Structure 1
Amino acid sequence: MAKKTTSQGTPATAVLAAAGVPFVLHPYTHDPSAPSFGLEAAEALGVDPARVFKTLMVDVEGKLAVGVVPVSGNLDLKAVAAALGAKKAAMADPKAAERRTGYVLGGISPLGQRQASPTVVDDSALEFDTVLVSGGRRGLDIELAPGDLVRLTSASTARIRTLV
């Protein structure tokens, strides 16, 4: 995979560039009326939704954490809590998620967040050579190796998805 550089720099792309990690940017035209940012990206880019991952902020016993799951499924809150050594989790307040990450909803990347949070990547990511995650704004995805995603976010992996 070739490293692509453009003027579409975000904190996420800066992290990848600084680490020397190969990645490919996939910009697309975002439709503000799209009901699902992740499924919109998969469709616009012509990529299997199982390879496109959404970044979800969760509140785990009063602390924010990150769950990264394929857009073809949903986040299993009990599973992400268990993966983080807790009993339960809830979706984080959207404003708190934006403040913590420095990104807007629909553009939250697991990479380059303002404040790092414990992260769990769904284990299905490891089945692919590359996966796509938000590039740090709506209408921009980043393709990279799942091992690089896990390493750069200091993530653990676990089955934290449910199928739709």
Structure 2
Amino acid sequence: MAATPAVRVLEKARVVHTLHPYDPEHPADQGHGEAAVAALGADPHRVFKTLVARVDGTLTVAVVPVAGTLDLKALAAAVGGRKAAMAEPADAERATGYVLGGISPLGQKKALPTVVDDTALGFATVMVSAGKRGLQLELPPQDLVALTRARTAPIGR
């Protein structure tokens, strides 16, 4: 399996991680994060989805549990902004270098401001996309925060 940019970031930083491949095919009424949880039999509070929003016009990454949703007002507040809205899919793909359903918070083409939901810190490890559909990576949340230069805040609900 070829290493994605996200995996290369972890290898370069010598961060201990585990890759979890799965079949990315899923029903149309199920999101990519939910599909990963179902395929891996994982806790949806410990698997995090990577979303891209615009906060006062600036693309911003939000990493929240699959079990919940992103609170756009909380995201805006976390980065000192006033208004947030989900980014257009094409903008998210262009800025990160990944396709929807496989956007990783790590190894993005352009470093974007990132906020990780603070519930991540309650786990020894969390899972996020490894940079392609059908591949999750597991790592300590402190390493995720450090490598993305993220701040943590209660942005999920």
SS where residue 23 of structure 2 aligns?
coil
Shift of 1:43: 1.1
Gaps of 5+ in 1: 1-6
Matching residue of 2:25:
31
Matching residue of 1:20:
14
1:14 and 1:136 map into 2 onto residues whose CA distance is 10
2:152 and 2:84 map into 1 onto residues whose CA distance is 17
Of 67, 79, 89, the residue aligned with 1:94 is 89
1:60 aligned onto 2:55: yes
Shift of 1:32: 4.9
Identity between Structure 1 and Structure 2 (%): 61
1:130 aligned onto 2:134: no
The aligned length equals: 156
Gaps of 5+ in 2: none
Of 29, 42, 47, the residue aligned with 1:47 is 42
CA RMSD of aligned residues (A): 0.8
For 1:5-41, what per-residue CA distance to the aligned partner results, in whole angstroms no more than 9, with x for missing partners? xx23100000000000000000000115442111110
TM-score calculated relative to the size of structure 1: 0.93
Matching residue of 2:68:
73
SS where residue 69 of structure 2 aligns?
strand
Of 5, 11, 32, the residue aligned with 1:11 is 5
